[in-house]
């Protein structure tokens, strides 16, 4: 074990990797802070760039963007009452109120320090439990993998907001798109329409880039909504004193635990973690009536919880190959471009890589503190870049990024197709993330179902009587029921 850790330290603590992590955190915080851009889109756009890097550097970059992006959303939530990312929706309640009272610098300080603490806590938990979970996962067979895939698909229900039916349509569409190409069990071509272009299936990286980036560009070209010119003078971040943080130690610890646990569950992500963290903070507070009026606890709870969910969401990804959130679904692409399949076998075959990812995330969460201080200062300038300049530039990066993965023009058309689909989904309120989850999990779900059914002589009920598969399926059912019956806060419904 010591050898693995030393190898990981050697991998991460070299100038180039450190620079990549620092750049990733800065980029993530910046992307997260601008409404309309987020860490999911950022990681999708960056995957092709990681192709030229070593797997460690590439995955360190994506993890850093993920961590930074989750915090970044709080900057515009606090300053403009507009969460830069859905994860920061709960931060608006007290963050903006504090800013209105002239305490924006303090609010930003609480957000960044609690994000760091939440992130670091979850990475430590991730490091402790991932190898253990991976060992259990090695005993899994097809029914267990099918059960896991179904549980992960319950994420669709929680991403649906008020339109569960639409979220399910999006998820089913993603699953359907994953069937395009050669059937892995019989070798039959499916939905290729006699051509060769789709024989290899739909490469999901151009699909992700298209749906998130090109769809957004098309939507903006129709509406041509110009960003409001916001005059901001002297934005800075003022970190809270240590004794102020110690005063909130139980709140931070509770929120970190909630965030990590919710992140681990494949059905829910950072946004839910933030709301649950906030709700629990209100419940445990001696002065619940003060929440929503601009108090530091109202920022500390959601920010700790949403960043804690990032480490949590990486657990199912690294140990089972199942994404715990939309961004981790995209990060799977980062593994695949390097020929790596995330899952328990990676802990056996590439332990140094896995521990390097742990270390990179730990470092990213620490560096976030400095990035948070810096980005808030330049934020006002960045927001002045007009979308008429930014949009076409993003498009070119998206197109070349999609093309560069296989040097195949088909990928450009796949990106374009998913861009148009993404545009219509945005316009008619179909969430995009379920489609991506479906596309990523499609193969696993189908193959594990078909193979598993053959194992149990085509009796689906036999899945329920296998102890692990049965428990996982029951968790999936509970997760779906919870998503349906829970009353969502208004802000969450608008995601």
Residues forming contacts to another protein in the complex (CB under 8 A) are: 49, 51-52, 165-166, 168-169, 172-173, 175-176, 179, 183, 185-186, 188, 190-191, 193, 214, 217-218, 220-224, 226, 386-389, 391-393, 395-397, 399-400, 403-404, 407, 409, 412-413, 416, 419-420, 423-424, 427-428, 446, 449-450, 453-454, 458
Closer CB to another protein, residue 356 or residue 402?
402
Q: Is 251 helix (H, G, I), strand (E, B) or coil?
A: helix
In whole angstroms, the minimum distance from the beta carbon of 254 to another protein comes to 39
Alpha carbon distance 476, 445 (integer Å): 14
Q: What is the 3-state secondary structure (H, E, C) of 68-115?
A: HHHHHHHHHHHHHCCCCCHHHCCHHHHHHHHHHCCCHHHHHHHHHHHH
In whole angstroms, the minimum distance from the beta carbon of 75 to another protein comes to 25
Residues 6+ apart with CB under 8 A from 142: 447, 448, 449, 451, 452, 455
DSSP line for 321-386: S--SSHHHHHHHHHHHTTT---SHHHHHH-HHHHHHHHHHHHHHHHHHHHHHHHHHHHHHHHTTS-
In whole angstroms, the minimum distance from the beta carbon of 157 to another protein comes to 13
Closer CB to another protein, residue 62 or residue 282?
62
In whole angstroms, the minimum distance from the beta carbon of 11 to another protein comes to 21
Closer CB to another protein, residue 193 or residue 231?
193
Closer CB to another protein, residue 175 or residue 235?
175
Q: Which two tokens stand for residue 360?
A: 């990179």
Residue with tokens 């075959």: 349
How far is C-alpha 90 from the chain's CA centre?
Answer: 17
Name which of 69, 385, 119 is nearest 252 in CA terms: 119
CA-derived radius of gyration, the chain = 22
Q: Which two tokens stand for residue 150?
A: 């179904």
Closer CB to another protein, residue 186 or residue 233?
186
Closer CB to another protein, residue 176 or residue 253?
176
In whole angstroms, the minimum distance from the beta carbon of 428 to another protein comes to 5
In whole angstroms, the minimum distance from the beta carbon of 374 to another protein comes to 23
In whole angstroms, the minimum distance from the beta carbon of 131 to another protein comes to 33
Q: Are 431 and 170 in contact (CB under 8 A)?
A: yes
Closer CB to another protein, residue 77 or residue 208?
208
């Amino acid at each position: 074990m010591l050898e693995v850790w030393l190898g990981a330290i050697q991998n991460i603590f070299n100038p180039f990797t450190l620079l990549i992590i620092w750049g990733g955190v800065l980029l993530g915080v910046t992307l997260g802070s601008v409404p309309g851009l987020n860490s999911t889109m950022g990681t999708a756009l960056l995957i092709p760039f990681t192709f030229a890097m070593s797997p460690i550097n590439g995955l360190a970059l994506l993890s850093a963007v993920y961590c930074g992006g989750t915090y970044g959303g709080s900057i515009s939530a606090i300053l403009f009452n507009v969460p830069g990312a859905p994860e920061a929706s709960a931060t608006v309640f007290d963050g903006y109120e504090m800013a209105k009272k002239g305490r924006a610098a303090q609010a930003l300080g609480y957000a960044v320090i609690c994000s760091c603490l939440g992130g670091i806590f979850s990475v430590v938990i991730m490091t402790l439990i991932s190898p253990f979970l991976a060992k259990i996962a090695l005993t899994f067979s097809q029914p267990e993998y099918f059960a896991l895939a179904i549980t992960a698909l319950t994420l669709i229900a929680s991403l649906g907001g008020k339109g569960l039916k639409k979220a399910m349509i999006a998820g089913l569409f993603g699953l359907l798109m994953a069937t395009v190409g050669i059937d892995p069990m019989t070798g039959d071509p499916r939905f290729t329409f006699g051509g060769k272009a789709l024989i290899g299936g739909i490469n999901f990286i151009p699909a992700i880039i298209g749906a998130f980036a090109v769809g957004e560009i098309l939507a903006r070209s129709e509406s041509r909504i110009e960003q409001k010119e916001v005059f901001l003078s002297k934005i800075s971040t003022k970190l809270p004193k240590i004794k102020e943080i110690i005063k909130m130690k139980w709140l931070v610890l509770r929120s970190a635990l909630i965030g990590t646990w919710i992140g681990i569950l494949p059905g829910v992500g950072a946004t839910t973690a933030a709301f649950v963290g906030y709700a629990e903070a209100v419940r445990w507070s001696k002065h619940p009536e003060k929440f929503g009026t601009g108090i530091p606890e109202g920022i500390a709870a959601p920010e700790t919880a949403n960043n804690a969910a990032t480490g949590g969401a990486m657990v199912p990804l690294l140990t089972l190959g199942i994404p715990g959130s939309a961004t981790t679904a995209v990060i799977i692409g980062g593994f695949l471009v390097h020929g790596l399949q995330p899952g328990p076998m990676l802990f056996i075959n590439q332990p140094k890589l896995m521990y390097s990812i742990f270390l990179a995330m730990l470092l990213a969460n620490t560096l976030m503190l400095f990035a948070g201080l810096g980005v808030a200062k330049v934020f006002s300038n960045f927001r002045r870049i007009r979308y008429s300049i930014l949009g076409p530039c993003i498009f070119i990066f998206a197109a070349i990024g999609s093309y560069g993965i296989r040097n195949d023009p088909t990928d450009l058309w796949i990106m374009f197709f998913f861009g148009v689909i993404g545009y219509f989904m945005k316009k008619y309120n179909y969430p995009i993330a379920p489609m991506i989850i479906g596309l990523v999990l499609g193969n696993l779900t189908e193959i594990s179902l078909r193979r598993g059914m053959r194992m149990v002589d085509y009796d689906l009920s036999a899945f329920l009587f296998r102890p692990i598969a049965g428990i996982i399926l029951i968790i999936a059912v509970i997760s779906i029921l919870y998503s349906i019956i829970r009353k969502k806060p208004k802000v969450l419904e608008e995601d």
